[in-house]
């Protein structure tokens, strides 16, 4: 089991949102952050954004009434603008993974994403469907092993 997988196990019961940036092999933590009380959004400095490039970000959406079960537009914006290799979301015992397969220029997705999010009533399932419509992206979910 990688350090990434071990860390995600500890995130299942997060009360505050946490984020960890890992090396692509999942065995080195480059840095980590948590949200400020009551604000479920983690902001990165310019330096931290540079550290994200080509690496893996995992984060939690604590189990509150208003928590988004899938990636938010903020998450997806971070994914593209920080040039992450992979973004992961721990939501209860499920981990969602969005990987850029690297075979295309994915940046044009940002304006499309913004247009998509402006539409009223964007549901969590339509967000997943939107992400799956890009062949350069791979969206998967799996349950976190308890052992
Ligand atoms: Zn998020």
Find the 105 Cα to ligand 1 centroid distance in Å: 23
Q: Cβ distance 79 to 108 under 8 Å? A: no
Find the 122 Cα to ligand 1 centroid distance in Å: 16
The DSSP call for residue 22 is: E
> Of 10-14, 67-71, 114-118, 132-136, which one has max mean pLDDT?
10-14
In this predicted structure, which of 71-75, 80-84, 118-122, 140-144 has the lowest mean pLDDT?
A: 118-122
Q: Which range of residues forms the domain containing residue 93?
A: 3-143
Find the 146 Cα to ligand 1 centroid distance in Å: 22
Q: What is the mean pLDDT of residues 111-132?
A: 78
Neighbours of 69 (CB within 10 A): 15
Q: Rg of the chain's alpha carbons, rounded to an integer?
A: 15
How many angstroms separate the first and last alpha carbons of the chain? 10
Find the 60 Cα to ligand 1 centroid distance in Å: 7
Find the 13 Cα to ligand 1 centroid distance in Å: 15
**What is the reported pLDDT for 56?**
97
Find the 81 Cα to ligand 1 centroid distance in Å: 15
Q: Cβ distance 67 to 61 under 8 Å? A: yes
What mean pLDDT value characterizes the chain? Answer: 85
Find the 74 Cα to ligand 1 centroid distance in Å: 7
At residue 117, does pLDDT exceed 60? yes
In this predicted structure, which of 23-27, 101-105, 134-138 has the lowest mean pLDDT?
A: 101-105
Q: What is the mean pLDDT of residues 50-63?
A: 92
At residue 86, does pLDDT exceed 90? yes
Find the 1 Cα to ligand 1 centroid distance in Å: 24
At residue 79, does pLDDT exceed 80? yes
At residue 72, does pLDDT exceed 90? no
CA distances from 119 to 46, 47, 59, 109, 122 (A): 30, 33, 26, 16, 6
B/e letters for 13-34, b = 16+ CB within 10 Å, e = fewer, are ebeebbbbbbbeebeeeeeeee
- Alpha-carbon distance of 38 to 15, in angstroms, equals 10
Which CATH number belongs to the domain containing residue 56 in this structure? Answer: 3.40.140
**What is the reported pLDDT for 2?**
96
Find the 98 Cα to ligand 1 centroid distance in Å: 12
Q: Based on the structure, what is the number of domains in the chain?
A: 1
Find the 75 Cα to ligand 1 centroid distance in Å: 5
């Amino acid at each position: 089991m990688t350090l990434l997988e071990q860390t995600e196990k500890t995130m299942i019961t997060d009360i505050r949102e946490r984020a960890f940036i890992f090396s692509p092999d999942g065995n080195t933590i480059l840095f980590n952050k948590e949200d400020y009380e009551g604000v479920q959004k983690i902001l990165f400095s310019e330096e931290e954004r540079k550290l994200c490039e080509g690496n893996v970000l995992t984060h939690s959406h604590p189990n509150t009434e208003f928590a988004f079960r899938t990636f938010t537009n903020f998450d997806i914006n971070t994914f593209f603008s920080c040039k992450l290799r992979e973004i992961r979301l721990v939501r209860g015992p499920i981990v969602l993974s969005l990987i850029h397969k690297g075979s295309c220029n994915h940046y044009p997705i940002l304006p499309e994403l913004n247009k998509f999010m402006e539409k009223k009533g964007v549901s969590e399932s339509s967000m997943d469907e939107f992400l799956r419509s890009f062949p350069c992206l791979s969206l998967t979910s799996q349950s976190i092993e308890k052992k």
